[in-house]
């Protein structure tokens, strides 16, 4: 079922399936969930950590939701960056290293080890399009919102507390403020 590089009819069929998937799920998707939707096996080679995939998907969906519908170039850039970040996460998993989500806002040692892995990935794979700056900012926003009691955005309809990334579930709950003290 390799329709990506197939003939015109195959490409049209793939486009129709992707459109149906997008309408049915109300979101764009990484390639593996799209392959699963089509009844195909996920691509072998890289598989990002689940927490990383949710974090990356959340940021990409947030950025895509703010786009003007005519911004095709920016849309492709966001999707390409998300794909590169998932590949980086898959590489981390393959290499037996910790996830992005577990270290992106960890202590200094964890952040340094993530930055070192980022450099090692660049050396191993060449220019990759991976950037961690926006992921770090996105995590800061999520953490600030959580501290204010704002729920995290849901990535999938009907998701439950098990879909909340481990690093978010482990954040301390803010103490209620005692009124009358200044």
pLDDT tens figures, 69-119: 888 899 989 998 998 999 999 999 989 999 999 999 899 999 999 999 999
Please indicate, yes or no, if residue 160 is contained in any of the structural domains. no
Assigned domain for 156 exists: no
Co-location of 52 and 121 in the same domain: yes
Dihedral in degrees, nearest 10, Cα atoms 77, 79, 83, 88: 60
Is residue 37 located within the same domain as residue 63?
no
**H-helix or E-strand spanning residue 123:** helix 108-125
Query: Domain check: are 120 and 39 in the same one?
Result: no
11 sits in the region (left: phi over 0; alpha: psi -120 to 50; else beta) called: alpha
Give the model's pLDDT for residue 64: 92
Average pLDDT score over the chain: 77
> Model pTM?
0.61
For residue 24, being part of any structural domain is answered with: yes
Same domain, 31 and 54: no
- Please tell me whether residues 112 and 53 are part of one structural domain: yes
Report how far Cα 170 is from the mean position of its chain's Cα atoms. 19
Point out the residues of the chain with pLDDT beneath 70: 1-8, 11-12, 14-15, 18, 26-46, 152-182
Indicate whether 177 belongs to any domain. no
Q: Are 78 and 92 in the same domain? A: yes
Distance of alpha carbon 52 from alpha carbon 139, whole angstroms: 11
Give pLDDT, residue 3. Answer: 65
In this predicted structure, what is the pLDDT of residue 162? Answer: 42
The half-sphere exposure of 159 on its side-chain side, counting CA atoms within 13 A, is 13
Cβ atoms of 42 and 48 within 8 Å: the answer is no
Same domain for 56 and 100: yes
Asked if the structure places residue 65 within a domain, the reply is yes
My answer on whether 92 and 120 are in the same domain is yes
Strands of 57-180 (E only): list them. Answer: none
The number of domains in the chain is 2
Say if 88 falls within a structural domain: yes
**Residue with the two structure tokens 């049915």:** 24
Shared domain for 31 and 104, answered yes or no, is no
- 90 and 22 fall within a common domain: no
**What domain range is 96 assigned to?**
47-147
Tokens at 127, concatenated: 């220019």
């Amino acid at each position: 079922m390799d329709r990506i590089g197939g003939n015109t009819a195959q490409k049209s069929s793939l486009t129709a399936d992707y459109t149906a998937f997008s309408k049915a799920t109300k979101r764009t998707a990484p390639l593996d969930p799209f392959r699963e939707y089509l009844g195909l096996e996920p691509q072998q080679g890289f598989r990002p950590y689940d927490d990383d995939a949710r974090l990356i998907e959340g940021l990409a969906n947030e950025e895509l939701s703010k786009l003007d519908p005519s911004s095709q170039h920016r849309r492709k850039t966001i999707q390409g960056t998300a794909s590169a970040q998932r590949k980086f996460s898959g590489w981390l998993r393959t290499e037996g290293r910790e996830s992005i989500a577990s270290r992106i806002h960890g202590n200094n040692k964890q952040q340094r080890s993530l930055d070192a892995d980022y450099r090692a990935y660049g050396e191993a794979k060449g220019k990759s399009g991976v950037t961690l700056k926006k992921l770090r900012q996105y995590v800061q926003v999520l953490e600030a919102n959580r501290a204010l009691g704002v729920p995290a955005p849901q990535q999938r309809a009907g998701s439950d507390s098990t879909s909340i990334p481990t690093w978010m579930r482990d954040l301390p709950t803010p103490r209620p403020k005692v009124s009358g003290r200044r």
